[in-house]
Amino acid sequence: MTDTLDAGALTAEAARMREVLGAGPVVALTGAGISTDSGIPDYRGPDSPPRKPMTYQQFVGDAAFRRHYWARNHVGWRHMDRTRPNEGHRALVELETAGVVSGVITQNVDTLHEMAGSRRLIELHGRYDRVICLACSQVITRSHLAERLTALNPGFADGVADIEIAPDADAVLAATERFRVADCEACGGMLKPDIVYFGENVPKDRVQASYRLVDEAAAVLVAGSSLTVLSGRRFVKHAVDQGKPVVILNRGATRSDAVATLTVDAGCSSTLRALAEVYLG
């Protein structure tokens, strides 16, 4: 299957998904693939260039890494802030409103599910629009930090060309040596995006809330995730261990294809829209 399925093929795939998922409640587990049609590229899609994201250890342990991150992010976050939900996000909201989808667990930090109107939402990896102090735990908005970084680095973002936007609001720049980083206004501590980095654990309360969603659901729908990292894959395993059907909708193979009840190799926006139409008529 591909993103270019015609209307008849899409309806047929959606009908197969509906048959496996049943009447619900269905919990949706989403990844970067659901946001690609909003203009946010994923890390592991079949057409994605190789990327090596910064780890938590690099960020907290090396001032040069930290400076490079904030310089890139200062440019990249503006792209993320302009993105809007697509048909995939909206279809899940319609299914939630109808009582089919009981909630969404997302690995994305782009806030598009919330913007679309999802009500029961667990953002496993945090959100790009908040910044936290690692010393005093004060949380500020990313827009407020942008004002401070702009004051410290006048003209920096305006003069950058040939940038590559990445899913965590990053952008790739050639040189960041002169960029000045802002510290916490309250205590002078180290600021970090309120995002779970590679090498960092998802907060336990989010994990437990996600397990509860799976426990309460009759089926799991994965949309746009390769399930490469354990933070999302464990919920598929939890559902499988309970004997619940799992449908995986993703462009390309995933780490859980072997245990899924049904896999659909297609884009999220058009397929989720077709699924909503099958359910809602």
Residues annotated in a binding site for Zn(2+): 133, 136, 184, 187
CA gap 137, 66 in Å, rounded:
18
What residue has token string 């690099």? 58
What residue has token string 């354990």? 230
Q: Which helix (H) or strand (E) holds 194?
A: strand 191-195
Structure tokens at 238: 């939890």
Catalytic residue among 68, 89, 113, 125: 125
HSE (side-chain half, CA atoms, 13 Å) at 224: 29
Question: For residue 195, what are the CA distances in angstroms to 111, 130, 200?
Answer: 12, 8, 9
CA gap 101, 27 in Å, rounded:
6
Extract the annotated binding site.
31-51, 107-110, 133, 136, 184, 187, 224-226, 250-252, 268
Backbone angles phi, psi at 280, to 5 degrees: -100, -15
Residues 255, 227 contacting (CB under 8 angstroms): yes
Extract the annotated binding site for NAD(+).
31-51, 107-110, 224-226, 250-252, 268
**Closest by Cα among 101, 148, 96, 104 to 123:** 104
CA R_g for the chain: 19
Question: For residue 175, what are the CA distances in angstroms to 52, 63, 68, 145, 171?
Answer: 17, 15, 8, 21, 12
Residues 69, 62 contacting (CB under 8 angstroms): no
> In the annotation, is 89 catalytic?
no
SS3 39: coil
Would you name the residues annotated as active-site residues? 125
